[in-house]
Amino acid sequence: MLKTKLNERNIPAVWDKAEPWKKRREDIINLLLKEEYGFMPKTHTDISFETVMEDSSFCAGKALLRKTNINLFFGEDKYTFPVYCALPNIEGKCPFIVHINFRSDFPDRYMPAEEIVDRGWGVLMFNYEDVTFDDYHKDGDKDLYTLLYKDKEIKEDSAGKIMIWAYAASRVLDYALTLPMVDPENIAVAGHSRLGKTALLAGALDERFKFVYSNDSGCSGAAIARMNKGETVKLITRDETFKYWFCENYLKYRDNEENMPFDQHFLLAASAPRYVYVASAKKDLWADPENEFLSCLAAGEVWEKLGLKGFVTDDKLPETADNLHEGFIGYHIREGSHYLSREDWQRFLDFADSKIK
The contact set with ligand GCU (CB under 6 A) reads: 193-194, 218-219, 231, 236, 286
Distance in Å, CB of 236 to ligand GCU, minimum: 5
Q: How far is the CB of 46 from ligand GCU (least distance, A)?
A: 32
Cis before 107 (ω within 30): yes
The secondary element (H helix, E strand) that includes residue 192 is strand 182-192
Nearer to ligand GCU, 255 or 315 (CB): 255
Query: How far lies 333's CA from each of 294, 310, 316, 344, 345, in Å?
Result: 13, 18, 12, 9, 12
Closest contact distance (angstroms) between CB of 105 and ligand GCU is 17
Mapped onto helix, strand or coil, the DSSP state of residue 145 is helix
Of 211, 166, 169, 190, whose CA–CA distance to 330 is shortest? 211
Shortest Å distance, C-beta 330 to ligand GCU: 20
Q: Which is nearer to ligand GCU, 100 or 204 (CB)?
A: 100
Q: Which is nearer to ligand GCU, 72 or 162 (CB)?
A: 162
Residue 103 C-alpha from the chain's centroid: 16
Cβ-based nearer residue to ligand GCU, 135 or 151: 135
User: Cβ 223 to ligand GCU, closest distance in Å?
Assistant: 9
Three-class secondary structure of residue 98 per DSSP: strand
Find out whether 104 and 152 touch, Cβ atoms under 8 Å: no
- Compare residues 88 and 191 and give the one whose CB is closer to ligand GCU: 191
DSSP 8-state class, residue 324: B
β-pair type (329-334, 275-281)? parallel
Nearer to ligand GCU, 15 or 133 (CB): 133
Closest approach of ligand GCU to the CB of residue 219, in Å: 5
In whole angstroms, give the CA distance from residue 210 to residue 207. Answer: 7
DSSP conformation class of 40: -
